[in-house]
Amino acid sequence: MRNPQLNRNGGLQHLLTIDGLPPEILTAILDTAAPFTEVAEREVKKLPLLRGKSVFNLFFESSTRTRTTFEIAAKRLSADVINLNISTSSTSKGETLLDTVDNLSAMQADMFVVRHASSGAPFLIAQHLAAMGLEHIHVINAGDGRHAHPTQGLLDMYTIRHYKQSFANLVVAIVGDVLHSRVARSQIHALIALGVPEVRVIGPKTLIPTDVDKLGVRVFHDMRAGLRDVDVVMMLRLQNERMQGALLPSPQEFFKYYGLTADKLECARPDAIVMHPGPMNRGVEIDSAVADGPHAVILPQVTFGIAVRMAVMSMLAGG
């Protein structure tokens, strides 16, 4: 069976997950994103690539940063952007996901950017579009359940490559709530596909999925040991809204053992960079002194995210 994310020519048809994408495609996305960063410095911050195309932002789960950066990316490519706030629309009146998709397809949609609390929802939409013969419509996963958040993973890779030039000799640590994190899954798949020799995950036993080592990562429950000599620290947000049951004693205790402080960061390499996908819980997973400190590249991540999303959208539309 053909990879559902690729078209007949091996180009990108949908972006649903990083898992299973050839490394050449990942590298092509990062390479394509680079010239888009320059557009932000122009008087007219617009390129004509998606002129006349309609991009529908389908957010079944709330998000500010991701939805906004997708919106900016699409608008800088001259697309028409339609934001659907689903919690106040038809789904709450009982319409199914695929009926919503059919209706929007009938409105000549060219691209769906989908965020959904259920893992696999964007895949279901892509499959449905193929079954309906609507292969000109592309789907971008903007985060589905605990499964994947591929554009976040890609913008993180772009950020790492920007500061470290190459992936070849890096030690990268992902810290915190890996269990609930679709971001962590996308990061791990991307780091390994791009050839990072050592990927570590750090967190309490209750927040690290069992079998995560089968993805090729090293697991640490002691943060200082895990941060020893790392080049890149990727913090995760503690996902309070996804917690069920007593996985954690308290946020304060989490901060004591797994919060990134200047003191713990000293275990990493002196030129280590600190990343966070946002929104940050200051004083829970990261100390303000680190979040605003010289190692943090958290705001550049947001800026690079626009260029990476522009690259993905143009590769889909031009494929």
Would you give the binding string for other proteins spanning residues 5-24, x where CB under 8 A is met? ------x-------------
Residue 315 found at the interface with other proteins (CB under 8 A): yes
Q: Which amino acid is at 77?
A: L
Would you give the binding string for other proteins spanning residues 49-88, x where CB under 8 A is met? x---------------------------------------
Q: Which stretch binds other proteins (CB under 8 A): 34-42, 89-97, 164-172, 187-195?
A: 34-42
Residue 34 found at the interface with other proteins (CB under 8 A): yes
Q: Which of 1, 2, 8, 44 binds other proteins (CB under 8 A)?
A: 44
Closest-CA residue to 98 (of 143, 128, 131): 128
Minimal distance, residue 90 CB to other proteins, in Å: 31
Q: Which of 28, 215, 219, 248 binds other proteins (CB under 8 A)?
A: 28
Residue 318 found at the interface with other proteins (CB under 8 A): yes
Nearer to other proteins, 32 or 119 (CB): 32
Q: Which stretch binds other proteins (CB under 8 A): 42-50, 122-130, 152-160, 283-291?
A: 42-50
**With CB under 8 A, what is the number of residues at the site for other proteins?**
21
CA distance 312 to 319: 10
Nearer to other proteins, 47 or 248 (CB): 47
Nearer to other proteins, 161 or 200 (CB): 161
Would you give the binding string for other proteins spanning residues 254-283, x where CB under 8 A is met? ------------------------------
Q: Which of 22, 46, 205, 216 binds other proteins (CB under 8 A)?
A: 46
Residues that bind other proteins (CB under 8 A): 11, 28, 31-32, 34-35, 37-39, 42-44, 46-49, 314-315, 317-319
